[in-house]
Copies of this chain bind each other. A is one copy, B any other.
Amino acid sequence: MIDVAFLGTAVRPAGTAVVVDVLRATSTITLALASGYERVLVAGTIDEAKALRTPERTLAGEVGCARAPGFDLGNSPEETREPRGAELVLATTNGAPAIVAAAASSDEVLVASLLNLDAVLAQLVGREDILLVCAGTDGAVSMEDVYLAGRLSAQLEGERSDAARIAEAVAAAYPNPVDALEASAGAVGLHREGLESDIAFCAQESVIATVPRLAETVDGIAVIETADEPGI
């Protein structure tokens, strides 16, 4: 079954959970690993991220879209393009808790963005019991995440739930990805903070072949590394 959880808080156990937070956490994780970070340590809260601080680690994260106080980076994907070390620590309002929640309920967790859409689809071929987890924005269902869930679902084979077909209808309603992102409540916050360039960046489709994957969970921290290529 292909199913969609419309909120990170609605996650349930599944064979494979695919977490989606297009604006911006899962886009940031995708680019960070593609850029050379060896792993991303995803924390459920800002305080948990702070507790992971070492001289070798880079802290990234946001509160209300803006960089978290005392952090090295915000949550703009492009800030991760030049790695400062092997490990990025990430704490965000919606996507990071969704990843931690998915990691607590499913052994196999992938991280999807528009940036790596085709690569994620390649990883999902032949899998059953797929749950596409939309992070949402500030506790509310968000357009851009349901849009990407629908893009993914539409390309997968197998029975699908009503939720998956709802997401597919949303994806079909926006021929151009940037329109789905700009239609979202998340975009409003980014415009407010002068971060609108993140929207255009995150709307790029299948420009990265990296698929982030849960390697392990340590003390509630989800350790995300690059998945092996499918079929290897």
Q: Is the CB of A6 within 8 A of B169?
A: no
**A141 contacts partner chain B, Cβ-Cβ < 8 Å:** yes
Residues of B within 8 A of A140 (CB): 3, 161-163
Residues of B within 8 A of A174 (CB): 169
Q: Shortest CB–CB separation between residue A32 and chain B, in angstroms? A: 26
**A200 contacts partner chain B, Cβ-Cβ < 8 Å:** no
Q: Is the CB of A142 within 8 A of B162?
A: yes
Residues of B within 8 A of A163 (CB): 6, 140-141
**A122 contacts partner chain B, Cβ-Cβ < 8 Å:** no
Interface residues on A, range: 20 to 34
Residues of B within 8 A of A45 (CB): none
Residues of B within 8 A of A6 (CB): 6, 141, 163
Residues of B within 8 A of A173 (CB): 169, 172-173
| Complex Cα–Cα for A141 and B6 (A) | 9
Task: Please provide the chain A residues from 1 to 54 with a CB less than 8 Å away from any CB of chain B in the complex.
Answer: 3-4, 6
Residues of B within 8 A of A172 (CB): 169, 173
Q: Shortest CB–CB separation between residue A169 and chain B, in angstroms? A: 4
Residues of B within 8 A of A137 (CB): 162
Looking at the complex, which one of B162, B170, B183 makes contact with A143 (CB distance below 8 Å)?
A: B162
**Listed residue (A165, A172, A184) with the most chain B CB atoms within 10 angstroms of its CB:** A165
Residues of B within 8 A of A183 (CB): 162, 165
Task: Please provide the chain A residues from 115 to 142 with a CB less than 8 Å away from any CB of chain B in the complex.
Answer: 137, 140-142
Q: Shortest CB–CB separation between residue A130 and chain B, in angstroms? A: 15
Q: Shortest CB–CB separation between residue A21 and chain B, in angstroms? A: 13
Q: Shortest CB–CB separation between residue A20 and chain B, in angstroms? A: 14
| Complex Cα–Cα for A183 and B165 (A) | 9
**A209 contacts partner chain B, Cβ-Cβ < 8 Å:** no
**A111 contacts partner chain B, Cβ-Cβ < 8 Å:** no
User: Can you spell out 12 A-B residue pairs with CB atoms less than 8 angstroms apart?
Assistant: A4-B141, A6-B163, A137-B162, A141-B161, A142-B162, A146-B166, A161-B185, A169-B170, A169-B173, A169-B174, A172-B173, A173-B173
Given contacts A6-B6, A162-B184, 7 further A-B contacts (CB under 8 A): A141-B163, A142-B162, A143-B165, A162-B183, A169-B169, A169-B172, A169-B174
